[in-house]
A and B are shown apart, each in its own frame.
Chain A
């Protein structure tokens, strides 16, 4: 089992202009622990929607690379969106699922992945042509270039342990985040 924070840390090293979207749950704290960034967008409601936000952004910004970093609970809530995304084959989108097999934020209740649901296989069967399932944290170093230059859509299924890490809680101001994201990515606030 990987250590989630170390894996995310290595994946985001030298991230440059990578756009990073995070879903409800511990993945947000993992990304925020690497430092706040105007090209981070933390989603705090609408559980299940994170991957689709990635698709909308990937279609709108074919010139940029987008990584969705989120948990198994968020992915499981909208499994169909994997099929939706694969049908569009966005080359600039990666989905990184940090799968600890529990709903850590609500009391460690088990998710379906612990009972046998294999999200890497699910992504593959939905039509993701590039799927990785790292078993060693060092694999982050070989996956990292794929986030920046790989031919997407890429699905990284990282099975992680349930180690406790510090909760780094970033901004929850949705409008403020939107404005700074648009500004940092060279878009006007109104369009």
Chain B
């Protein structure tokens, strides 16, 4: 049986989630939809505590693009947080963003690529980047913590400046996923 993780400490020994939150603030992101992932724990908590951000807990990642289109129609910027397995759940609903030029910054924590305790994450993890490209996304990948802030900022510039959909993949090795974490 796998060791149960302590979600309060997962991925909190570094401050990249704080820097992503700071970039969201700088770019006036007002809605953040998410399905949990251990790697996103701290960023989700930061967004939930932020009175200027509506954080929306989704029952499926597939609900996220609808939320983003609605935010866009209301004149607000939105972002989504999910793990790589969730990208597959969104393929059809991503289409509304392309059809309406609704901007999205999507932050994906990668699974199934490095030291994942659950090898069944590998198939979806392996196809995540190509899937996003087929869905029309511009895709960045971050392997080193020092790149988190400039890449997130570039993603925000691209998405909100040009009404595009941009994804940032955070590598599993960088996130340093705890053994047994989901």
Task: Report the contact-size class of chain B (Cβ under 8 Å from the partner).
Answer: 35 or more
The interface-forming segment of A8-16, A44-52, A111-119, A159-167 is A44-52
- Interface flag for A41 (CB, 8 Å): yes
Given known A-B contacts A56-B66, A57-B71, A60-B30, A87 and B57 have beta carbons under 8 A apart: yes
As a 0/1 sequence over residues 19 to 50 of chain B, the CB contacts with chain A under 8 angstroms (1 = contact) are 00000000000110000000000000000000
| Contact between A81 and B76, CB atoms less than 8 A apart | no
- Interface flag for B95 (CB, 8 Å): yes
Given contacts A49-B66, A60-B75, A188-B75, 18 further A-B contacts (CB under 8 A): A19-B73, A21-B70, A41-B73, A43-B69, A43-B96, A50-B66, A54-B70, A56-B78, A60-B76, A78-B62, A81-B66, A84-B57, A84-B58, A88-B56, A174-B96, A185-B75, A187-B74, A191-B77
Q: Enumerate B51-97 residues with CB–CB distance to A below 8 Å.
A: 54, 56-60, 62-78, 92-96
Given known A-B contacts A49-B66, A50-B66, A78-B60, A178 and B101 have beta carbons under 8 A apart: yes
A45 to B59, CA, bound (A): 20
| Contact between B76 and A49, CB atoms less than 8 A apart | no
| Contact between B62 and A47, CB atoms less than 8 A apart | no
Kindly report which residue of chain B lies nearest to residue A126, judged by CB atoms.
Answer: B59
Kindly report which residue of chain A lies nearest to residue B55, judged by CB atoms.
Answer: A88
A81 to B78, CA, bound (A): 17
| Contact between A53 and B70, CB atoms less than 8 A apart | yes
Greatest chain B CB density within 10 A among A56, A61, A78, A188 is at A56
- Interface flag for B100 (CB, 8 Å): yes
Given known A-B contacts A46-B92, A49-B66, A80-B59, A178 and B71 have beta carbons under 8 A apart: no
List A residues at the B interface (Cβ < 8 Å). Answer: 19, 21, 41, 43-61, 78, 80-81, 83-84, 87-88, 174-175, 177-178, 181-182, 185, 187-188, 190-191
Partner of B59, one of A58, A84, A191: A84
For residue B101, give the distance in angstroms from its CB to the closest CB of chain A.
5
Give chain B residues whose Cβ lies under 8 Å from the Cβ of A54: 70
- Interface flag for B99 (CB, 8 Å): yes
| Contact between B100 and A81, CB atoms less than 8 A apart | no
Give chain B residues whose Cβ lies under 8 Å from the Cβ of A84: 56-59, 63
Given known A-B contacts A46-B96, A81-B59, A84-B59, A52 and B74 have beta carbons under 8 A apart: no
- Interface flag for B168 (CB, 8 Å): no
Given known A-B contacts A45-B92, A191-B77, A52 and B71 have beta carbons under 8 A apart: no
Kindly report which residue of chain A lies nearest to residue B60, judged by CB atoms.
Answer: A80
A185 to B67, CA, bound (A): 18
10 A-B pairs with CB atoms under 8 Å apart are A43-B69, A45-B95, A46-B93, A51-B66, A53-B69, A54-B70, A59-B56, A59-B76, A60-B70, A78-B62
| Contact between B74 and A49, CB atoms less than 8 A apart | no
For residue A185, give the distance in angstroms from its CB to the closest CB of chain B.
8
| Contact between A80 and B63, CB atoms less than 8 A apart | yes
Kindly report which residue of chain B lies nearest to residue A49, judged by CB atoms.
Answer: B66
| Contact between B96 and A56, CB atoms less than 8 A apart | no
| Contact between B73 and A59, CB atoms less than 8 A apart | no
Give chain B residues whose Cβ lies under 8 Å from the Cβ of A61: 74-75
By Cβ-Cβ distance, the 3 closest A-B pairs, closest first, are A56-B70, A60-B74, A52-B66
Give chain A residues whose Cβ lies under 8 Å from the Cβ of B11: none
| Contact between B101 and A175, CB atoms less than 8 A apart | yes
| Contact between B69 and A177, CB atoms less than 8 A apart | no
Give chain A residues whose Cβ lies under 8 Å from the Cβ of B74: 56-61, 185, 187
